[in-house]
Amino acid sequence: MIKDSLNKIKDKAMEEIKNVSNFDLLEKIQKKYLGRKEGELTKILKNLKNLSLEEKKIIGKLANEVKLRIESEAKKKIQELKIKAEALEENFDITLPGEKIEIGHLHPLTQFTRKITDVFVSMGFEIVDGPEAETEEYNFDLLNIPKEHPSRDLWDTFYIKSGNSPESPELDLGSGDSEQNSKNKLLLRTHTSPVQLRAMEKRKPPVRLIMPGRVFRHEATDAGHETTFHQLEGLVIGENIKMTDLIGTLQYFVKTIFGESAKIRVRPNFFPFTEPSIEVDMTCLICCGKGCGFCGGDGWIETLGAGMVHPAVLKNMKIDPNKYSGFAFGMGVDRLMMLYYGVNDIRLSYSGDLRFIKQF
Ligand code: DAH
């Protein structure tokens, strides 16, 4: 009988504590059951005097268990109410789902540059870096592009005002201070070719080098042109290096990146630093060579310039042209990246627009 009432008290108390939503009510509930004078449990215990010793023991033990159980449930509830109160104070709803943390990734251009450099590294090429603020001497003179030679016009150049340090260049949008010696005259490199010369100051043939990097041209921008873009330069020097080595290397590169169906086509061209010079096209992968708007209808895409390193340039590298020969190439990384990922406007690549970058 008493056992039953004790169990009932326990169940009722537990239920009430579970549903309580503030400290005041909780306190009242605690008092109602455990209060020293009027608590329901206390009342029962007061009636124990009429029971036998044996019964007193059993009921006493049970009553104590019920008391402990109620107390621990109330403690748990206090903890819970405290957390809720704190959250409310900070105006923070703990039931809201957490904010998703966005994880960034490499820019498509960086991803693609790594892909293509990997192909060359697998062929034994070494990756070399060079300065973006370059001297006129390295960007032009040592590459066999003399000062007054019309071929210099191939590269629309951003000159850096004299007296500026390469770390904080200020642009001179004229043709540069003509009085200044080309050794000191700074510009933003118009191509990665000067890195060939810098690399060979610290190396001896045979070498296989690739030189990826950012280049700058003072040009109007459109869907296919930016004033800042990326090139990947290649240089191989050794004994008996031939044009067929160049073509084989490029064919292997294009097929590895773009698949077996990608072919290359070679046309004669002119560059001051190579002789003979070639222009290399690859199959347009948008139309598979049939001709479309992207390739201008002829099924081929201009991919890179290349050639056998000019003897004058070899001499500038302190290399004996009678003993050694070499090939070089320079490709526009942006154009290939666009073809690879199907991007139709180079300006998107430099816009910093996350909607574009997130696609890759
Ligand atoms: N530097 C050239 C340019 O920017 C590209 C180029 C052509 C690089 C032929 C080379 C080369 O190394 O052999 O247009």
Same-domain pairing of 202 and 61: no
Task: Specify if 149 maps to a domain.
Answer: no
Same-domain pairing of 114 and 66: no
Same-domain pairing of 56 and 120: no
Same-domain pairing of 35 and 115: no
Ligand 1: centre distance to CA 289 (Å): 25
Q: Which domain holds residue 352?
A: 108-130+193-357
Query: pLDDT 10s per residue in the chain (360 long)?
Result: 788 888 888 899 899 999 988 888 888 888 888 888 888 888 877 777 778 888 888 888 888 888 899 999 989 988 988 888 887 777 777 788 888 888 889 999 999 999 999 999 999 999 999 999 999 999 999 999 988 887 777 788 998 887 656 566 666 665 555 556 888 889 999 999 999 999 999 999 999 999 999 999 988 888 778 899 999 999 999 999 999 999 999 999 999 999 998 999 999 999 999 999 999 999 988 788 898 887 889 999 999 999 999 999 999 999 999 999 999 999 999 989 988 988 878 888 888 888 888 888
Q: Which residues contact 67 (CB under 8 A, 6 or more apart)?
A: 34, 41
270, 273, 275, 309, best to mutate for ligand 1 pocket (most atoms within 8 Å of CB): 273
For residue 273, give the CATH number of its domain. 3.30.930.10
Same-domain pairing of 73 and 126: no
Q: What is the pLDDT of residue 168?
A: 63
Task: Specify if 282 maps to a domain.
Answer: yes
Same-domain pairing of 325 and 232: yes
SS3 125: coil
Ligand 1: centre distance to CA 125 (Å): 18
Q: What is the pLDDT of residue 44?
A: 79
Same-domain pairing of 14 and 115: no
Same-domain pairing of 78 and 116: no
Same-domain pairing of 43 and 113: no
Q: Is 160 exposed, middle or buried (0-12, 13-18, 19+ CB in 10 A)?
A: buried
What is the C-alpha to C-alpha distance for residues 281 and 359, in angstroms, rounded to an integer? 28
Which residue owns the Cα nearest ligand 1 atom 4? Answer: 191
What is the C-alpha to C-alpha distance for residues 39 and 134, in angstroms, rounded to an integer? 90
Q: Is 340 exposed, middle or buried (0-12, 13-18, 19+ CB in 10 A)?
A: middle
Structure tokens at 70: 């109620």
Q: What is the pLDDT of residue 251?
A: 96
Which residue owns the Cα nearest ligand 1 atom 8? Answer: 330
Same-domain pairing of 86 and 220: no
**Which residues' Cβ are closer than 6 Å to ligand 1?**
191, 193, 233, 271, 274, 305-307, 328-330
Given the CA of residue 231, which atom of ligand 1 is nearest to it?
4
Same-domain pairing of 82 and 124: no
If one counts the domains in the chain, the total is 2
What is the C-alpha to C-alpha distance for residues 280 and 257, in angstroms, rounded to an integer? 16
